[in-house]
Amino acid sequence: MNEADRLRAAMRATESTAHAPLDLAAVVREGRRLRRRRRLAGTGAAGLVLAVAVAVPVALRPDGPPPQRPAEAITTGSVATPTTAPTASATPDARATPGSTDRKPVGTVVSSGIRYGDQERVFYFVPIGVPELPGVKIGLVAGRRDADGRLTPDLLINDVEGRDRHAGFHQIGYDQQGDRQVLPPVPTFGYFVGPATRIVGTVDGRQVPAELARWSVDPGVVIFWFEPTVLTPGVRLDGIVALDKRGERL
């Protein structure tokens, strides 16, 4: 028996008949929710979804530098168009509003070109401090910038383990509030550490390209987001890959 045969046999021999059955009712509920969102996307009726903060409580470190000029996008992807009208104002749950804090951006505030009336979707890093996570010093915010330059953060994502600069993908931010349509939808976004020149997601069997911008503080950090016109906010990616300039997968 060679290695492959031995491996094949071991994988099958370890199949357990004792695993708990999956909650298929929950599967169907979640599947219906996904289907609803896809249908909304198909009719162009992009839903407004409450954005929530990620994962771990973060301590404010308000000593970051002031906002800088927007970064240029790396890719030549399509210019975003408005996907929603200006939103109704609402006060989200305090747990879900990093915007209630006053973190200053670290480095460039990246313009996405996505507009909501007078506001524009932007992405920027902020300093964070989590005692349990000494390797995590930054988080990425999806926010909105008013015409006068004022920033309103909607969603903060940060690593919840390890280091914030390890090579590869980090946390990915999604709209998560389903039918609670309060704030402008946050495009799916995140960052990748490495020499990526293209990032491509897959969802529902199709490939969706991300827009990219390098972070001014560390060019090895690539901020990416998906245009709401190509990936409906809140719809989970089935996969995501980063490619270098030769088209090789990183």
Find the binder of another protein among 31, 62, 135, 178 (CB under 8 A).
31
How far apart CA 43 and CA 20 sit, in angstroms, is 39
Q: Does 22 bind another protein (CB under 8 A)?
A: yes
Q: Does 30 bind another protein (CB under 8 A)?
A: yes
Find the binder of another protein among 156, 172, 186, 210 (CB under 8 A).
172
Pattern 148-167, another protein, x by CB under 8 A: -------------xx-----
Torsion of CA 61, 67, 71, 77, to 10 degrees: 80
Q: What long-range pairs does 33-38 form, CB within 8 A, spacing at least 24?
A: 33/178, 34/235, 34/236, 37/232, 37/234, 37/235, 38/204, 38/232, 38/235
Q: Does 219 bind another protein (CB under 8 A)?
A: no
* 225 neighbors 208 (Cβ within 8 angstroms): no
The residue range among 13-21, 76-84, 92-100, 218-226 that interacts with another protein, by the rule CB under 8 A, is 13-21
Name the token pair of 228.
């709401």
Find the binder of another protein among 32, 95, 150, 206 (CB under 8 A).
32
Q: Does 236 bind another protein (CB under 8 A)?
A: yes
Q: State which of positions 178-207 bind another protein (CB under 8 A).
A: 202, 204-205, 207
Q: Does 34 bind another protein (CB under 8 A)?
A: yes
The residue range among 2-10, 44-52, 122-130, 176-184 that interacts with another protein, by the rule CB under 8 A, is 2-10
How far apart CA 134 and CA 143 sit, in angstroms, is 25
CA geometry: angle 189, 190, 193, nearest 5 deg: 150
CA geometry: angle 97, 102, 105, nearest 5 deg: 105
Q: How many residues does the chain have?
A: 250
Residues in touch with another protein (CB under 8 A): 3-4, 6-24, 26-28, 30-32, 34-35, 38, 161-162, 168-169, 172, 202, 204-205, 207, 236-241, 249
